[in-house]
Chain A
Amino acid sequence: MTAGSGQRDGAAPAASGPAGYVPPPVPGLRRVAITGMGTVNALGRNVADTLAALREGRCGIGELHFQDVERLSVRIGAQVRDWDPEAYFNRQQISLYDKFTQFTLLAAKEAVGQSGLDFQGELGLCSGVILGTAGGGLNTWDENYRIVYEEGKNRVHPFVVPKLMNNAAASHVSMEFGLRGPAFTVATACASSNHAMGLAFQMVRSGAARVMLAGGSEAMLCFGGVKAWEGLRVMSRDACRPFSANRNGMVQGEGAGVFVFEDWDHARARGADILAEVVGFAMSSDAQDIVMPSAQGAERAIAGAMRDAELNPEDIGYINAHGTGTAANDKTECAAVAHAFGPHADRLMISSTKSMHGHLIGGTGAVELLACIMALRDGIIAPTIGYEEPDPECALDVVPNVAREARVDAVLSNAFAFGGLNAVIALRRA
Chain B
Amino acid sequence: MSTDPQSVRDRIVAIIAEQAMLDPSEISVEATPADLGIDSLGLVESIFAIEEAFDISIPFNANEPEKSDFDISNMGAIIAAVEKLVAEKA
Taking CB atoms and an 8 Å cut-off, the chain B residues in 21-70 that contact chain A are 21, 41-42, 44-45, 47-48, 51-52, 57, 62
Is A71 close to B, CB under 8 A?
no
Is A73 close to B, CB under 8 A?
no
- Find out whether the CB atom of A95 lies under 8 angstroms from the CB atom of B45: yes
Collect the chain B residues with CB atoms within 8 Å of residue A91's CB.
18, 21
| Binding site secondary structure of chain A | loop
Is A24 close to B, CB under 8 A?
no
- Find out whether the CB atom of B18 lies under 8 angstroms from the CB atom of A92: no
In this complex, what residue of B is CB-closest to A162? B41
Is A233 close to B, CB under 8 A?
no
- Find out whether the CB atom of A158 lies under 8 angstroms from the CB atom of B52: no
- Find out whether the CB atom of A159 lies under 8 angstroms from the CB atom of B45: yes
User: In the assembly, what is the distance between CA of A155 and CA of B57, in Å?
Assistant: 9
User: In the assembly, what is the distance between CA of A158 and CA of B42, in Å?
Assistant: 10
- Find out whether the CB atom of A158 lies under 8 angstroms from the CB atom of B44: yes
B13 to chain A minimum Cβ distance, whole angstroms, is 17
- Find out whether the CB atom of B41 lies under 8 angstroms from the CB atom of A159: yes
A147 to chain B minimum Cβ distance, whole angstroms, is 11
User: In the assembly, what is the distance between CA of A95 and CA of B45, in Å?
Assistant: 9
In this complex, what residue of A is CB-closest to B43? A158
User: In the assembly, what is the distance between CA of A322 and CA of B51, in Å?
Assistant: 48
User: In the assembly, what is the distance between CA of A96 and CA of B39, in Å?
Assistant: 14
Collect the chain B residues with CB atoms within 8 Å of residue A158's CB.
41, 44-45, 47-48, 62
User: In the assembly, what is the distance between CA of A90 and CA of B18, in Å?
Assistant: 12
B16 to chain A minimum Cβ distance, whole angstroms, is 13
B70 to chain A minimum Cβ distance, whole angstroms, is 14
- CB 8 Å contact bits of A84-117 with B (1 = contact, 0 = none): 0000001110011000000000000000000000
Which residue in B44, B52, B62 is a CB contact (below 8 Å) of A155?
B52
Collect the chain A residues with CB atoms within 8 Å of residue B52's CB.
155
Collect the chain A residues with CB atoms within 8 Å of residue B47's CB.
158
- CB 8 Å contact bits of A65-78 with B (1 = contact, 0 = none): 00000000000000
Collect the chain A residues with CB atoms within 8 Å of residue B44's CB.
158-159
Collect the chain A residues with CB atoms within 8 Å of residue B18's CB.
91
- Find out whether the CB atom of A92 lies under 8 angstroms from the CB atom of B51: no
- Find out whether the CB atom of B48 lies under 8 angstroms from the CB atom of A155: yes
Collect the chain A residues with CB atoms within 8 Å of residue B42's CB.
92
User: In the assembly, what is the distance between CA of A158 and CA of B48, in Å?
Assistant: 7
Which residue in A90, A96, A155, A159 is a CB contact (below 8 Å) of B51?
A155
A284 to chain B minimum Cβ distance, whole angstroms, is 42
- CB 8 Å contact bits of B3-22 with A (1 = contact, 0 = none): 00000000000000010010
Collect the chain B residues with CB atoms within 8 Å of residue A155's CB.
48, 51-52, 57
- CB 8 Å contact bits of A178-219 with B (1 = contact, 0 = none): 000000000000000000000000000000000000000000
In this complex, what residue of B is CB-closest to A90? B21
User: In the assembly, what is the distance between CA of A159 and CA of B44, in Å?
Assistant: 9
A266 to chain B minimum Cβ distance, whole angstroms, is 36
Collect the chain A residues with CB atoms within 8 Å of residue B48's CB.
155, 157-158
User: In the assembly, what is the distance between CA of A91 and CA of B62, in Å?
Assistant: 21
B57 to chain A minimum Cβ distance, whole angstroms, is 8
Collect the chain B residues with CB atoms within 8 Å of residue A159's CB.
41, 44-45
- A-B contacts besides A92-B42, A158-B41, 11 pairs, CB < 8 Å: A90-B21, A91-B21, A95-B45, A155-B52, A155-B57, A157-B48, A158-B45, A158-B47, A158-B62, A159-B44, A159-B45
